[in-house]
Amino acid sequence: MLRGGKVGLRARHDDDTPILRAELFNDVDHSARFESGPWRPMPPDAKRASPATGGEEETVRFSVVELSGSTLIGLATLWGIDTHNRSAHIGLALLPSARGQGYGTDVVATLCRYAFVVRSLHRLQIETLADNPAMLRAAERNGFVREGVLRSSAWVMGEFLDEVTLGLLVEDWKRDTA
């Protein structure tokens, strides 16, 4: 398990899936905000908690747990891993009961350490909706820099929303963590 200050990132367990499905993916409005495609129902026997697709070799999925008690509080993903350009994207989703407690900032920090130290990546990127202040704060507190706004680029529940792109280079992360 990867340990942050408040959270641990561990492999997804089979018993995590029903919780994540019930509290994140069956919530159509919330799921539509963090998945890269439209919401779709999943059968109860689906192996993954998320309906998202993608090659397993380019995606690493974690369950997020509180260090005190090991309670499941969400999920984190390092996705779009490009070993040639040594880059990847970060994603996370917290259960409703875990939001607003600083866990997101710690999850981002822990994913950065995994990506830069364990995977030897050079660049990380986060894309989030412009109206997601929690993710913007978590990214910026970890040294991510706003690189641009993609106007009306995300279709979310009947409307187009702006998306913010943030980036972090390993040399900036090393300087900030020193």
pTM for the full model?
0.84
CA dist., res. 68 & res. 79, Å (int): 27
Which residues pair with residue 59 across a beta bridge?
79
Contact yes or no for 75/63 (Cβ under 8 A): yes
Centroid of chain to Cα 131: 16
- The answer as to CATH 3.40.630.30 being correct for domain 2-125 is yes
For 19-63, write each residue's pLDDT tens digit: 888 888 777 777 777 676 667 766 666 666 655 544 446 999 999
Which residues pair with residue 77 across a beta bridge?
61, 91
For 109-165, write each residue's pLDDT tens digit: 999 999 999 999 999 999 999 999 999 999 999 999 999 999 999 999 999 999 999
Contact yes or no for 75/64 (Cβ under 8 A): yes
Sheet holding 123-129, edge to edge: 2-3, 7-10, 59-66, 72-82, 87-94, 123-129, 159-169, 145-156
Domain extents in the chain: 2-125
Centroid of chain to Cα 156: 18
Centroid of chain to Cα 21: 16
